[in-house]
Chains A and B, each alone.
Chain A
Amino acid sequence: MNTLTEIFFSGSHWTYVWWAYAITFIIVAASIIIPTVRRKKTLAQIKRKIEKGQQ
């Protein structure tokens, strides 16, 4: 816990670097995960409809 506080809240030059890289990592991960999950959901939805005989 102390190490994390030091990394993100000590106010040193590296603090700003870690924040920048951490936020970038979260946005990049979200930009990949969200459309992947959505694609899988679309496929599952189409499959469900076929099985129900709606499509």
Chain B
Amino acid sequence: MFSSFNFKYFIISAAILLLLALVYAPHSQPLYGDPLKTGTQTKVGVQTEYGLIGTDKFRIYKSQKLEFKYKNMVVTEKINTTAPTTGSLFLLTNWLYQLFFFLITAIAIGYSKPISNFIKKTGSLKYTYNLSGKFIPWIAILALLLATIGIVDGLAFAPTDAKQKDSFRIIYIHVPAAMLCIQAYIVMSIASAIALIWRIKIAEIVAMSIAPLGAAITAIALITGSLWGARTWGTWWEWKDPRMVSVLILFFIYLGIMGLNSAIEDKRTAASATGIFTLSAFVIIPFIYVSVKMFNSLHQGSTQVIGSSDMHPDMARPLIVMFFATMLYFTFALLIRIRGEILIRDRKTQWVKDIALRS
């Protein structure tokens, strides 16, 4: 029975899923309170013409009023949050449950012949090039269709926000882009780890192809966030805000990875160097997540969109569609980059020469 178990694939999938569990489990909703907020913390909101912005009203336990000057705006509220300590127990249970689920999945991948064979085949650059070529048009069509539906729904049919008026419609590109720039880094880190440990070529290519794409998506998140902030907060940029500055650092990390990759001529050495850099800089990701929870931030905390949503369904619907559209766009753009990189790496092989002669 154990002879059919593929230990290598079990370890790879377990490592990936464990990383996912560690990143996403703290985001799961605890049943009581929020351990990150245990104790007394202060959160400052900004009073603008559209109301108080920057506070997380759903997490408020008790509050008190005070006067505070913030640039040209007056801040009027200080919030002391005290969460019950039982929250951490439920969060731990949630973590363990997710870890158990991921472990079972990893064992299944280790045993599954078709999955093992698929992973083995994707290690071949020719196979990945041909397979991605078949999927690219469908992914592009689906991404375009969903983006069109999401944008039209978001701009024309979603109701106007009572406080932010129509400027809130930036949410349909800002939030998916902000989520994607972090997820892209997580995927890049996983690919870098695989490339560093097992020296798998395709993992190196994936990691290197994500960097410019991640930089582009982070730029979208920063620019649209700045435009949104200019209208609602009255400021284009705030250096004291941990969320804004940490995402800017993420943008520079992406640029640094691109620079390091192009500075080293040998592709494999470049992949190793950038892999170490990518994993070292991973520390920014949890910081971006907790920045709005742990520090006084102009930026609001995360809003639940799916399930018992804090948003009106007509506002949440286009956002959900745009989440899927941006994920498909990312996959599409990534596959194009991967295919280009495969051709460069394998340019001396016969199969690439055949493709070149046919083109």
Show the binding face of A for B, using Cβ within 8 Å: 12-14, 16-17, 19-21, 23-24, 27-28, 30-32, 35-36, 38-40, 42-44, 46-47, 50, 55
Cβ contact within 8 Å between B356 and A20: no
Cβ contact within 8 Å between B340 and A35: yes
Encode contact with A along B135-175: 1 for CB under 8 Å, 0 otherwise: 00000000000000001000100000000111101100110
Contact partner of B340 (CB less than 8 A), chosen from A16, A30, A38, is A38
Q: Is the interface of B mostly helix, strand, loop or mixed?
A: helix
B293, CB-defined interface residue at 8 Å: no
Show the binding face of B for A, using Cβ within 8 Å: 151, 155, 164-167, 169-170, 173-174, 177, 212-213, 216, 219-220, 223-224, 227-228, 230-231, 329, 332-333, 336-337, 339-340, 343-344, 347-348, 352-353, 355-357, 359
Cβ contact within 8 Å between A23 and B340: no
List, in ascending order, chain A residues with CB within 8 A of B227's CB. Answer: 16, 19-20
Cβ contact within 8 Å between A43 and B343: yes
List, in ascending order, chain A residues with CB within 8 A of B155's CB. Answer: 17, 21
Contact partner of B224 (CB less than 8 A), chosen from A14, A24, A55, is A24
A20-B173, A43-B355 in contact; A27/B348 too (CB < 8 A)? Answer: no
Cβ contact within 8 Å between B173 and A24: yes
Cβ contact within 8 Å between B166 and A13: yes
A12 to B164, CA, bound (A): 12
A35 to B347, CA, bound (A): 16
List, in ascending order, chain A residues with CB within 8 A of B339's CB. Answer: 39
Minimum C-beta distance from A7 to chain B (A): 13
8 contacts between A and B (CB under 8 A): A13-B165, A13-B167, A16-B170, A20-B224, A32-B332, A39-B340, A39-B343, A55-B353
